[in-house]
Amino acid sequence: MATENFDYIIVGAGSAGCVLANRLTEDPNVTVLVLEAGPGDRSIFIHMPSAFAYPLANDKFNWFYHSEPEPFMNQRAMYCPRGRVLGGSSSINGMVYIRGHALDYDGWASHAGLEHWSYADCLPYFRKAETRAKGGDAYRGNDGPLHVSTGACKNPLYTAFIQAGQQAGYAYTEDMNGFRQEGLGPMDMTVHKGRRWSTAMAYLRPAMQRPNLHVRTRALVTRVVTESSNKAPKAVGVEVVNGSTLDVLRANREVILCGGAINSPQILQLSGIGNPDELRSLGLPVVAALPGVGENLQDHLETYVQYACKEPITLYSAMNPWAKLKIGVEWMLKGTGLGATNHFESGGFIRSDAGVKHPDLQYHFLPMAISYDGSAPASFHGFQAHVGPMRPTSKGFVKLKSANPKDAPRILFNYMGTEQDRKEMRAGVRLTREIFEQAAFDRFRGEAVSPTAKVQTDDEIDAHIREHAESALHPSCTCRMGTDDMAVTDGSGRVHGVSNLRVVDASIMPDVVSGNLNAPTIMLAEKMADIILGRPSLPRSDAPFFVHPAYQTAQR
C-alpha cells in the first residue's frame, strides 16, 4: 500500500474530468491527478466519427451497463453504455453538440441556492468552451478548446427532412444552439478536421504537457477516503486498485468525482455516503446520511420512426465490406468522406402540444434504417428519425448491488412510468409520421417499416414503444444540486455534510436538459472550474432567446 499526495484528485477522465484537469492546472502551483478506470483512447474506432457504433457496442472502452428489467418496457433490461476510456462518454458518443434550451437553465436557477445557474450565467461558459467552425457571435464561441462543426447535409434526405418540417408548419432554425432552438435545421457535431473532438482531445492532451498534471489509466477508484474528528467528515483521498496494487492517494485540497450519473453515486455509496439503511444492509459504514444519492435518475428515451427509401441513396450502400474499406482509406489519407461525419446532420426540436412553452420533443435524422449502436442494421435502403420526450417525469435510481466495487450497480430508469411520458411519446410518433408524409419526401418515401402503418391507436403505439424504444444515452441527476433533504450537492457541487468532496458531472444537474448532454456537461465543468479556483464568474449574457409567441394556443 503506497501513499502519494496531490492538491486535487479527479476521479474520471470524462467530459467533465478532462475540462477540470485542464483548467485547474492553469495554475502552475497546483498539482492534479486524474484517475481513469479505462484505457487510453488511441483506437481508430474512437477517432473516426462514423465508427462510433463500435466503441458504443462493446465493453473495451465502455462500462457496458444494463438496467434491471424495466417494469413499463416489457421487462426489458435496457442498455446503458458509459465511457470507460480517456475522454469518457465523449470518446464513444454520437458527437451531437446540443446545449439544451435557455428555459432549462432558468429552471435550474429557480431552485434555492442555484440562482447562479440561469441561462444568462451559463451561456458565457458555453461560449468559453467552444470554437465554432462557422465563427462566433453572441451565442457561439470562437476561441475555446472544443471544436464544433455543422453538418454539410450533402445527402438530399437531410434537406428533405428539413423541408418536410417546414411543409408541416414548423420553422427552419439555422442554429438550434443559438437564438432559436425550436424548429428543424442542420445539426452541430464535435468533429474537427474529420476527427472526433472529444474532451480528451480538446482539454486533456494539451494539459498533459504541463508538469503539474498526472494522468493514470486502468485505475479503479474503490472509495473516497474520509477522516472524522469532532467536525463533519472530510475527504482526504481515494483508494485505488491498479492491477494487483491497492494504493491510497491523498488530496490536500479536494477529491472531485467526475464519474458521471452512474459511477459518481456508486462511488459515494461505496464510501459510506448515501441512504443509511441501504448502506448498513450491505455492511458499509455510514459516513454521511444522504438519502438522495443515486435517486432522481433521469434519461431521455427515444424511438425510431423508419421508412423504406425508393432511391438507393441511403447509407445502406456503405455497409458492405468493400465500401467500408474505401471509406476508411479515404478517411485515413484525407480525413474526408463518409468516415468524417457522425451522419446526424439534420434534426430539430418541436413542441408536442399547445401550452408547452419550449420544445419537448427532439429529432435526430439519419439517412439509414439502423439502431443507434449499429446492432440492428436494416437489409434495405431506408431512413429514420429518432424522436423522444425531453423532460421525462419518470425517474429511477442507481443503487449498489453489493459492497464489491467491481460489481456493476443496480440501475432502474422506470422509462414510460407516467402517463405524461407516454402521451408525449405517442405525439412524437404521430407528428413524425406527419412530417414524413409531406411532399418533400414523395420521391423517397416507401412503406412505413417501424412502426408499421397498422400501428395507429394509443394502445398500439404504447405497445410498440415498450418493445422497441431505446435510451438516448443521457443519464443524469443522481447527485443533484439543491438545498432540500434529497439534494446531494450544493450549487457549487460540494457534497452536503462532507468537506473537501465535490461532484462535477451530469449527475449534479437538478433536472435533465432538453437535448444531448455532452455540451451541457462541458459547460458545467467550465463554470465549476472558476468556482473551485475562486475566480470571478464570467459576466452574464444579455442575449435573448426565442419562445413561440403563441405557444399557449398553437402547437407549431
Tell me the per-residue pLDDT of 209-245, one tens digit each, with 9 for 90 and over. Answer: 999 999 999 999 999 999 987 778 999 999 999 878 8
Q: What is the mean pLDDT of residues 168-176?
A: 98
Question: For 189-213, what is each residue's pLDDT tens digit?
Answer: 999 999 999 999 999 999 999 999 9
Catalytic residue, candidates 192, 214, 464, 474: 474
Mean pLDDT of the chain: 96
85 is in an annotated binding site: yes
What pLDDT does 505 receive? Answer: 98
Q: For residue 192, what are the β-bridge partners?
A: 195
Buried b (16+ CB within 10 A) or exposed e, 178-191: bbbbbbbbbbbbbb
Q: Using CA atoms, how far apart are residues 94 and 116, in angstroms rounded to an integer?
A: 30
| Confidence grade of residue 374 (pLDDT, cut at 50, 70, 90) | low
Question: For 519-533, what is each residue's pLDDT tens digit?
Answer: 999 999 999 999 999
CA contacts within 13 A on the Cβ side of 486 = 8
For the domain made up of 152-186+301-389+416-468, give the CATH fold. Cholesterol Oxidase; domain 2 (3.30.410)
Q: Where are the domains of the chain?
A: 1-69+81-146+189-295+401-414+477-539, 152-186+301-389+416-468
What pLDDT does 370 receive? Answer: 84
Q: What is the mean pLDDT of residues 371-381?
A: 73
CA distances 380 to 313, 370, 404, 487, Å, are 11, 10, 46, 49
What pLDDT does 533 receive? Answer: 96
Question: For 107-160, what is each residue's pLDDT tens digit?
Answer: 999 999 999 999 999 999 999 999 999 999 999 999 999 999 999 999 999 999
- pLDDT of residue 376 exceeding 90: no
Q: What is the mean pLDDT of residues 435-463?
A: 98
Q: What is the mean pLDDT of residues 255-283?
A: 98
- pLDDT of residue 66 exceeding 60: yes
The structural architecture, per CATH, of the domain 1-69+81-146+189-295+401-414+477-539 is 3-Layer(bba) Sandwich (3.50)
93 is in an annotated binding site: yes
Q: What is the mean pLDDT of residues 449-465?
A: 97
- pLDDT of residue 1 exceeding 50: no
387 is in an annotated binding site: no
Q: Is 474 a catalytic residue?
A: yes
Neighbours of 126 (CB within 10 A): 25
pTM, 2 dp: 0.97
259 is in an annotated binding site: no
Kind and range of the H or E element at 410?
strand 410-412
